[in-house]
Amino acid sequence: MAMDDVAARGLVLLGCGKMGSALLKGWLAGGLPPGVIHVIEPRPSDWLRGTGVALNGPLPDAPAVALVAVKPQMMGEALPAMTALGGGRTLVLSIAAGTPLSAFEAAFGAGTPVVRAMPNTPAAIGRGITAIVGNSETTKPQMALAESLLAAVGEVVRLEAESQMDAVTAVSGSGPAYVFHLIEALATAAETEGLSPDLALRLARATVGGAGALAQETGTDPAQLRRDVTSPNGTTQAGLEVLMAELPDLVRRTVRAAAARSEELGRA
């Protein structure tokens, strides 16, 4: 199964909010014909109306993929529109946070291949990372297809077990918010040192964004990058002596709290 199977049989996208829109933009940019994409979205944007996709119309009998991109709290209302696609011929791909594979197996019925995915918000600019895991009905070609579809918005990694999804949620799913807060905190500290709010925010935003890009694009161990910029007895060392005394434990507790909440949501 490959992307040409999607072009031949179609793809159903349930929900076209921020993440659904990011995926759709990536697929269209990658050359997937808009006419083979069937979108179910009760409040379509003007942009969506202008894409040429099949919007809120009849669904194909056995599309290659049915992608669920609605919020978990809307799942009960939205899923009935798609459950007839269960049974084996259509791959169900979910990016709904906190909703386990078992919930989709129950909704779509026995024999349904299901892939659960956790993307993150940098997908909006094609710099996301998505973790995926499939159920026992999912074939290797279907996993490859899910990976190809999600690669439209960034990197994709495969998990060994669904139990790892809570940690992924806590690190990469929730992680952008931690980084945004770091930018806020760094900018506030810069203001305290006498910089204007605009300059403080500009410096903080560019520093965090540039450092992250350097770490990702070079592939260098971040510990080595840290050492490279830290001169003995210099300004960076003075700052790190404060930060490294508290940050590692704070981050551990932050990730644990998010993972614990993800575990709770999965049991709800």
Indicate the annotated binding residues for NADPH. 56
Question: Residues within the annotated binding site?
Answer: 14-19, 56, 69-72
Cβ-count burial of 76 within 10 angstroms (0-12 exposed, 13-18 middle, 19+ buried)? exposed
Give the whole-angstrom CA distance, residue 31 versus residue 148: 13
DSSP string across 104-172: HHHHH-TT--EEEEE--GGGGGT-EEEEEEE-TT--HHHHHHHHHHHGGGEEEEE-S-GGGHHHHIIII
Q: For the chain, how many helices (H) and strands (E)?
A: 11, 8
Rounded Cα distance between 157 and 76, Å, is 28
Check if the beta carbon of residue 92 is closer than 8 Å to that of residue 86: yes
Binding site residue list for NADP(+): 14-19, 69-72
* Residue 252: other Cβ atoms inside 10 A: 10
> Rounded distance, CA 221 to CA 144, Å?
29
Strand partners, 157: 131
